[in-house]
């Protein structure tokens, strides 16, 4: 796919730009609706791709952020505005402190009757159906990771936060060296985009159904810029649970944590996370946390629950 490779893009997405992508639900699979493409008005130097091509798998598109992302290895503090991802030589003590600092209980405030997170820019922010991002939140450092995508061109959903994008590049490189064809399908999603998806779902499928399958605006983890849906050729680069049974899906489950990602919506954890099993949705939290969460076999909600931390 190197023939599609383009480098040197400035990939910061301008504020307020609404870019169309394949419409996805809470994460994605349950919502297959689409709307018309809207190209970025400014900022991006690339042409937008046609819509609805996410599952075609015939092309890949890569971009590259111009600055090397923080290499989030132990002992090296992150440079991406987070103090959550450094680790001392005593990893466990550091992780406990990190868990307490990012605990569900210590990172929430009531705003107009809603629980709103107080640490939206943290690599360990927990957003779910009960925990909203601040109104209109936009991540500070969105870039396009230099990885293979399931569609052509650069869209809003091509973006991730810089530190997460750097980690994704390493993850994809490792998959490729194991002869696997992992593709990025859907990353960042703006508040405005989620409003459009949600309203479209309510209009076409009703509110009750929509609330079951789709994240309310402000509650999608994709809005943090730290989550991305990925897939492989075994299921035509779609977002379905069967991805978990493909070579790419199995590899991802086994190796995601080594690169700082967790499979965010675990099998059988619906009551805790609010979502059914999504083997395609990975969330960046930093290497140490990801490895600890995975080793303990917890959801992020459990890992950052004050009561569990004390155990």
User: Is residue 27 a contact residue for Zn ion (CB under 5 A)?
Assistant: yes
Q: Which residue among 138, 141, 152, 229 contacts Zn ion (CB under 5 A)?
A: 229
Q: Which residue, 27 or 133, is less far from Zn ion as judged by CB?
A: 27
User: In sequence order, what are the beta bridge partners of 143?
Assistant: 160
CB of 229 to Zn ion, least distance (A): 4
User: How far apart (Å, rounded) are the C-alpha atoms in residues 118 and 139?
Assistant: 14
CB of 245 to Zn ion, least distance (A): 18
User: Is residue 121 a contact residue for Zn ion (CB under 5 A)?
Assistant: no
CB of 222 to Zn ion, least distance (A): 6
CB of 283 to Zn ion, least distance (A): 9
Q: Which residue, 240 or 288, is less far from Zn ion as judged by CB?
A: 240
User: Is residue 156 a contact residue for Zn ion (CB under 5 A)?
Assistant: no
Q: Which residue, 31 or 163, is less far from Zn ion as judged by CB?
A: 31
Segment contacting Zn ion by CB under 5 A, of 97-105, 130-138, 225-233, 252-260: 225-233
Q: Which residue, 239 or 298, is less far from Zn ion as judged by CB?
A: 239
Segment contacting Zn ion by CB under 5 A, of 34-42, 53-61, 104-112, 226-234: 226-234
User: Is residue 281 a contact residue for Zn ion (CB under 5 A)?
Assistant: yes
Reply yes or no on whether 278 is catalytic.
Answer: yes
> Which residue's Cβ has the minimum distance to Zn ion?
27
* 157 to 196: interface string for Zn ion, x by CB under 5 A: ----------------------------------------
HEC profile of the chain = CHHHECCCCCCCCCCCCCCCCCCCCCCCCCCCCCCCCCCCCCCCCCCCCCCCCCCCCCCCCECCCCCCCCCCCCCCCCCCCCCCCCCCCCHHHHHHHHHHHCCCCCCEEEECCEEEECCCCCCCCCCECCEECCCCCCCCCEECCCCCECCCCCCHHHCEEHHHHHHHHHHHHHHHHCCCCCEEEECCCCHHHHHHHHHHHHHHHCHHHHHHHCCCCCCCHHHHCCEEEEECHHHCCCCCHHHHHCHHHHHHHHHHHHHCEEEEECCCCHHHHCCCCEEEEEEECCHHHHHHHHHHCCCHHHHCCHHHHHC
Q: Which residue, 87 or 168, is less far from Zn ion as judged by CB?
A: 168
Q: Which residue in the list 221, 278, 288, 302 is annotated as catalytic?
A: 278
- Count of residues in contact with Zn ion, rule CB under 5 A: 3
CB of 29 to Zn ion, least distance (A): 9
Q: Please, how many CA atoms are within 13 Å of residue 228, restricted to the half-sphere of its CB?
A: 38
Contacts to Zn ion by CB under 5 A: 27, 229, 281
The catalytic residue positions are: 278
């Amino acid at each position: 796919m190197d023939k599609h490779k383009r480098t040197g893009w400035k990939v910061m997405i301008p504020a307020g730009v609404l870019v169309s992508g394949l419409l996805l639900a809470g994460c994605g699979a349950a919502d297959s609706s689409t709307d018309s493409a809207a190209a970025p008005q400014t900022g991006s130097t690339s042409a937008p791709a046609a819509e609805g091509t996410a599952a075609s798998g015939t092309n890949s598109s890569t971009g590259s952020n111009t600055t090397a992302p923080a290499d989030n290895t132990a002992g090296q503090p992150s440079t991406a505005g987070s103090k959550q991802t450094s680790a001392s030589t005593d990893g466990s003590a550091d992780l406990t402190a990190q868990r307490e600092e990012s605990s569900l209980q210590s990172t929430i405030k009531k705003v107009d009757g809603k629980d709103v997170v107080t640490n939206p820019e943290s690599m360990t922010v927990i957003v779910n159906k009960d925990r909203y991002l601040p109104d209109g939140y936009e991540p500070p450092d969105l870039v396009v990771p230099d990885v293979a995508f399931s569609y052509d061109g650069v869209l809003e959903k091509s973006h991730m936060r810089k530190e997460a994008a750097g980690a994704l590049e390493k993850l994809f490189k490792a998959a490729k060296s194991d002869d696997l064809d992992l593709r990025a399908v859907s990353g960042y999603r703006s508040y405005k985009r989620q409003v459009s998806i949600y309203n479209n779902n309510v209009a076409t499928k009703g509110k009750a159904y929509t609330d079951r399958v789709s994240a309310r605006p402000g509650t999608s983890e994709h809005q943090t810029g730290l989550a991305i849906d990925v897939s492989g050729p075994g299921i035509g680069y779609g977002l379905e649970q069967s991805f978990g049974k493909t070579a790419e899906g199995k590899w991802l489950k086994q190796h995601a944590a080594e690169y700082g990602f967790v499979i965010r919506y675990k099998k059988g954890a619906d009551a805790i996370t609010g979502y059914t099993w999504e083997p395609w949705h990975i969330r960046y939290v930093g290497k140490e946390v990801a490895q600890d969460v995975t080793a303990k076999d917890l959801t992020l909600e459990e890992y950052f629950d004050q009561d569990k931390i004390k155990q």
